[in-house]
Amino acid sequence: MTSPSPKLKSIVLNRQQARVLAESGELVLFDVLDEQPRSEWSHIDQRPSGDWYEWWDVWVAGGRVDQQECNIACPFAPGDRLWVAQEWQCGIEWDDTCDDDVDPLCGGNDVWFPADGEPVDGYGRTRPASGMPLWACRSTLTTASVEPVEHEGKWCWRRVMKKFEERDE
């Protein structure tokens, strides 16, 4: 019996992130946790099941040491599959058409990505990554690892993603 294929989710990358991915085949992102610990003595450990983390928050209050434990769910997991949404352009003849209505059989054969530099003549307006249809993406990623780390003074999820496949352009 084969396991079901993972659900494909989108990830929006800016031009710099898209360039790094294209050049190295790997991308590291730091996603800041919504709730931050109260002190520098805080610690986050992974629970045995692997999908929850325990957060030990230790601080000094009124001359005594106090601590609090809370559980946080990690919204990411190794093996997650993501399709890359980034700014894109198609033929100038599609400029008056909304993103969802660009015909993949016509406009899709002629897609340019601003992260690659300036396009040659014939490409239309730059379209936002948030409106990019799946057929226009050129790469998919897989999450290689996720861990909680301190980064630039904040607790973050550190995600390492690797290029899974290059789609036909």
pLDDT digits (tens, 9 = 90+) for 26-40: 999 998 887 776 655
Residue 123 in contact with residue 136, Cβ under 8 Å?
Answer: no
Backbone angles phi, psi at 149, to 5 degrees: -140, 160
> Which positions of the chain have pLDDT values less than 70?
1-6, 37-71, 105-109, 165-169
- Report the side by side order of strands in the sheet with 8-12: 8-12, 81-85, 139-151, 154-166, 26-32
| Alpha carbons 117 and 15: distance in angstroms, whole number | 10
Q: What is the pLDDT of residue 148?
A: 81
Supply the pLDDT for residue 2: 47
pTM of the model: 0.73
CB 54 within 8 A of CB 45: yes
- Give the whole-angstrom CA distance, residue 100 versus residue 116: 23
- At residue 44, the pLDDT reads 65
C-alpha to C-alpha distance for 63 and 65, rounded to whole angstroms: 7
What does the pLDDT read at residue 169?
45
